[in-house]
Amino acid sequence: MSSSVASFGKHASTAEEEAYLHIQRALRLGRYKPGERLIPEDIAAEIGMSRMPVREAFRRLASEGLVVLRPNRGCIVAGLTVDELYEIFEMRSVLEGLAVRLAIPRIDEEELEELDRLLERMERAGNSGGSDWVARHQEFHGRICALSRRPKLIHQISALHAVIEPYMRIWFDYVEKPVSAREEHAAVIAALRSGDARHAELVMQDHILGTAPMLAEFVTPSR
Amino acid sequence: MSSSVASFGKHASTAEEEAYLHIQRALRLGRYKPGERLIPEDIAAEIGMSRMPVREAFRRLASEGLVVLRPNRGCIVAGLTVDELYEIFEMRSVLEGLAVRLAIPRIDEEELEELDRLLERMERAGNSGGSDWVARHQEFHGRICALSRRPKLIHQISALHAVIEPYMRIWFDYVEKPVSAREEHAAVIAALRSGDARHAELVMQDHILGTAPMLAEFVTPSR
DNA sequence: ACCTGGCTTTTTGTATCCACTTATCCAATC
DNA sequence: GATTGGATAAGTGGATACAAAAAGCCAGGT
């Protein structure tokens, strides 16, 4: 209920919204490959509507960087180059760092314990299956950002997460388990507990920037 | 030519693009007031097209935060609360700070001199008229960000600038002249010259955060 | 055999049309 | 006299239809 992160927990009240959520979800799950063309008619048929709402959804997805829209040439899934992936992580590092810094004065013990529990669930998800871990991980970062109570900041960060999510899934499927992840996330919580805003900001920045090189291995040179 | 900042220097190849640029420009210039309704038919007639491309343009503008789109209730110009204005500036501070930090290793003397000239032109624009200063100011920040050579980062920053531009114009119209502005921008250039990435990042952050309170005075409590 | 030019097919972009939601205005009732 | 209900008007969202652009294909030429 408290999570206002854009990617989660919305249900469509209009056809365009439904199309948007449908496509976004498919993209986040990696159902389409980078460079692949999204045919409006097919997607429209899939959801049971005409091409028009789908086209409008494309506009939004394009402005969030999930697809690329070229005049008269249709809609293709946006692939990331290694440089672009690093760029996303650089932006994430400062934005989520900011979120943490702003969150510090607002944090109480109850919320920290909730994060502890979330970390446990992440760990279990990592052992049991695979792609569920990614969802938990998103939730972990999303919840911390939500503590900042900055709607626009939260929205931007969420949009960046959506772009990298498919690569997170690929990464998780190839490596057996992100061993350092648990420690790093525990360190983030510890930094939040410390109450030192600047310190926590730096810890979050380091955590995010440290993840990028691992993911970069799995970027398909599809461009 | 070098500027790839999204808000500038594009011309429409498609009707939707034309509508988008037309409306964005009008919003940046403050032609519409926050809360005002944008009637698709009127705008379509204004540019000479049907409502459809205008509607698609609305989607993009909405996802950039320039308008608000509510189901069956049309498109209204997004107004900022004081909190939201501060939030934008907080985001700008870390993003433009990042851009500066990344730009440092790439800067050569020639580009610094170009910035010096731009500062001069800003000063002249500030003396002569008014709203031209805002455009120069955007160009100043845009050019520095462009040095980072991070397309997505540049795009995000540009989008944030578009949101606050109308408030910058109001602000400039009320105060006789931003006296501290020249010194602050000169300090930013000096920090770039220093070659110290972290230092330059902090100078840019302070410059941006310092501007926010002045603008906040002129936010109409329209929500 | 390869390149080039024009034709056909496919797909995109825009306009018009219809259904449904929302807002406005007036009247009736409390 | 104020408030609530309904009827009417306006406007939005979505679908279908049409025009224009691009991609693919085949034939002819070099």
* pLDDT tens-digit series, residues B115-140: 999 999 888 877 666 668 889 999 99
% of chain A residues with pLDDT over 90: 75
Question: Is any atom of strand D within 7 angstroms of residue A56's beta carbon?
Answer: yes
- Strand, helix or coil at A69? strand
Residues in a beta bridge with B54: none
> How far separated are the first and last CA of chain A, in Å rounded?
40
Contact B71 A156 (CB under 8 A): no
CB-CB under 8 Å, A91 with B152: yes
Which CATH architecture does the domain made up of A15-77 adopt?
Orthogonal Bundle (1.10)
B153 in contact with chain A, both atoms CB, cutoff 8 A: yes
Res. A6: pLDDT tops 70 = no
pLDDT at residue B133, as a whole number:
87
The answer to whether A60 contacts B65, with C-beta atoms less than 8 Å apart, is no
Question: Phi then psi for A218, rounded to 5 degrees?
Answer: -105, 15
Q: Average pLDDT of B142-148?
A: 97
B169 pLDDT more than 80: yes
A144-191 confidence digits (pLDDT tens): 999 999 999 999 999 999 999 999 998 888 776 667 888 999 999 999
**Interface subset of A 40-69, CB within 8 angstroms of B:** 55-57, 59-60, 62-65
DSSP A194: H
Percent of chain B past pLDDT 70, that is, above it, reads: 89
Instruction: Check residues B8 and B74 and name the one with the higher pLDDT.
Output: B74
B41 CB contact with strand D at below 7 Å = yes
**pLDDT band of B6, cuts 50, 70, 90:** very low
Q: Does A119 touch chain B (CB under 8 A)?
A: no
Q: What is the pLDDT of residue B68?
A: 96
Q: Domain ranges for chain B, please list them.
A: 15-77, 82-216
Does residue A88 sit at the B interface (CB-CB below 8 Å)?
Answer: yes
Mutate to test the interface with A, among B10, B52, B87 (most CBs of A within 10 A): B87
- Is residue A221 very low, low, confident or very high in pLDDT (cuts 50, 70, 90)? low
| Structure-derived torsion over alpha carbons of residues B27, B31, B33, B36, reported in degrees to the nearest 10 | -80
Q: Is the distance between the Cβ of B39 and the closest atom of strand D smaller than 7 Å?
A: yes
Kindly report, residue by residue over B45-90, the tens digit of the pLDDT.
Answer: 999 999 999 999 999 999 999 999 999 999 999 999 999 999 999 9
- Determine the nucleotide nearest to B72 by Cα–C1' distance: D12
Q: Does residue B72 approach strand D to less than 7 Å at its CB? A: yes
Q: What is the pLDDT of residue B7?
A: 43
- Helix count (H) and strand count (E) of chain A? 9, 3
Q: Which of B2-11, B199-208, B212-221 has the lowest mean pLDDT?
A: B2-11
pLDDT at B4 over 60: no
Interchain CB contact of B91 with A (< 8 Å): yes
| pLDDT reported for residue B130 | 65
| pLDDT of A67 | 96
| pLDDT at res. B114 | 94
Rounded to the nearest integer, the mean pLDDT of chain B is 89
Q: Please give the DSSP secondary-structure letter assigned to residue A80.
A: P
Alpha helices in chain B (DSSP H): 15-28, 40-47, 51-63, 82-103, 109-128, 131-146, 151-174, 179-194, 197-216
The residue-averaged pLDDT of B30-58 equals: 94
Percent of the residues in chain B that have a pLDDT greater than 90, as a whole number: 75
pLDDT above 80 (res B12):
no
User: Does B64 sit within 8 Å of A63, measured CB to CB?
Assistant: yes
Substitution target from B73, B90, B201 for chain A, most A beta carbons within 10 A: B90
Residues touching nucleic chain C (CB < 7 Å): A 37, 39-41, 51-52, 55, 69-75; B 14-16, 44, 49-53, 56, 71-73
Question: What are the angstrom distances between the C-alpha of A88 and each of A123, A147, A216, B44, B103?
Answer: 25, 22, 11, 36, 16
Give the Cα-Cα-Cα angle B149, B134, B206 (nearest 5 degrees): 60
Share in percent of chain A as helix, strand, coil (round to 5): 70, 5, 25
Higher confidence at residue B5 or residue A64? A64
Q: ipTM of this model?
A: 0.89
Kindly tell me if the per-residue pLDDT of A9 is higher than 70. Answer: no
In this predicted structure, what is the pLDDT of residue B175?
A: 75
CA distance A140 to A151: 17
A75 nearest nucleotide via C1' and CA: C12
Between A64 and A5, the more confident residue is A64
Rounded CA Rg of chain A: 18
Question: Which of the pair, A121 or B205, is modelled with greater confidence?
Answer: B205
Quick check: A1 pLDDT over 50? Answer: no
Q: How confident is the model at residue B178 (pLDDT cuts 50, 70, 90)?
A: low
Q: What is the pLDDT of residue A92?
A: 98
**Was domain A82-216 assigned CATH 3.30.1490.190?**
no
Determine contact: B122 vs chain A, CB below 8 A: no
Nearest to A71 among B13, B90, B150 (CB): B13
Q: Is the CB of A70 under 7 A from strand D?
A: no
